[in-house]
A = this chain, B = another copy of it.
């Protein structure tokens, strides 16, 4: 067969084998490992490791590479989980809320959740005074927030920065 028709192209992402998974596990704990080092751990030479990693990137299994910073040292040691409800639940109001939240740099994570509240926010600030300012100046000025309930992190027990594969 000389030519493949478009419809015959395989668009589905290929299945990951054991080595791919091991590479992903290694990289999510230390993305500075060289292809040579990775190869030593999975019993391959640099080339196939390189090609596998590139494929994992291309197929979207790896979203990006990031430096994980020390929040304490950067004066953002106070972590707060804030549950909020909206007064109304129309699409437009929801959209505006999302837009407002996206603009707040202190909000590092935001989830739409089940249960008594609508959203769960993770907020990082220096201290309680800064959190108070955040609530009063920023969160408080967002329209349509019905209620907000803050839970303070007293200690971080575990934080993997990793998908459990």
Interfacial residues of chain A within 19-48, with CB under 8 A of chain B in the complex: 24, 27-32
Asked, given contacts A31-B31, A60-B73, A73-B13, whether A156 binds B111 with beta carbons under 8 Å apart, the answer is yes
> Any chain B CB within 8 A of the CB of A4?
no
Give the chain B neighbours of A109 by CB distance below 8 A.
156, 158-160
| A70→B62 contact, CB < 8 A | yes
Give the chain B neighbours of A108 by CB distance below 8 A.
158-160, 162-164
> Complex formed: what's the CA distance from A13 to B70 in Å?
13
| A111→B79 contact, CB < 8 A | yes
Interface size class on chain A is: 35 or more
Give the chain B neighbours of A24 by CB distance below 8 A.
67, 69, 74
Chain B min CB distance to A70 (Å) = 5
Residue ID in chain B nearest A77 by CB atoms: B163
| A110→B158 contact, CB < 8 A | yes
> Any chain B CB within 8 A of the CB of A68?
yes
| B113→A81 contact, CB < 8 A | yes
Give the chain B neighbours of A155 by CB distance below 8 A.
111-112
Chain B min CB distance to A85 (Å) = 13
A-B contact list, 25 entries, CB within 8 Å: A28-B66, A28-B68, A29-B66, A30-B66, A31-B65, A60-B73, A61-B74, A63-B68, A65-B65, A66-B66, A69-B165, A70-B163, A74-B163, A74-B165, A76-B165, A102-B158, A108-B164, A109-B160, A110-B158, A110-B159, A111-B153, A111-B155, A112-B153, A117-B151, A120-B151
